[in-house]
Amino acid sequence: MSSKAHFSSTVKPIGLAGQGDGSLPKSCIVSGWGTTSRNTGRMSHRLMEANVTLSDEEQCVIENLCCSQGDIGPGVGDSGGPLVYEDGKAYGVLPYTSSPHGGGPKMYNYAKIPDYRYWIDSFMKYNGKL
């Protein structure tokens, strides 16, 4: 961000999942201002959210990612958006979406925040001045 966020009753920081938060949840919410099937090619003017169910596809396990699949999920422009569980903590961040070579449903891939907590905490401790 080019400036600091100004916290209010509607703008708050989100908690991040840590190594001690147990196993990854199965049902989460993703959100963003990316494109939707209704506004193809244009970013949304309002924050959208979708419920997703995480899968344990072999490729996701191999790549150490959280994944969801189907027609419902993040859109183009939602990269960097959070994968949030009902406890209000972010468990993942959307780096990319892929389509299987042989066809089939889209695969939404999320980097696991607990795997990066040491780096995130170190960066925040030094206020981005590493």
For 64-98, the pLDDT digits (tens) are 888 898 888 888 888 888 999 888 899 999 888 87
- What's the pTM? 0.78
**34 close to 44: Cβ distance less than 8 angstroms:** yes
Q: Which of 95, 18, 90 is nearest to 60 (CA)?
A: 95
Helix, strand or coil for residue 118? Answer: helix
The highest-confidence range among 14-28, 50-64, 90-104, by mean pLDDT, is 50-64
Domains in the chain, please, with CATH? 23-125 (2.40.10.10)
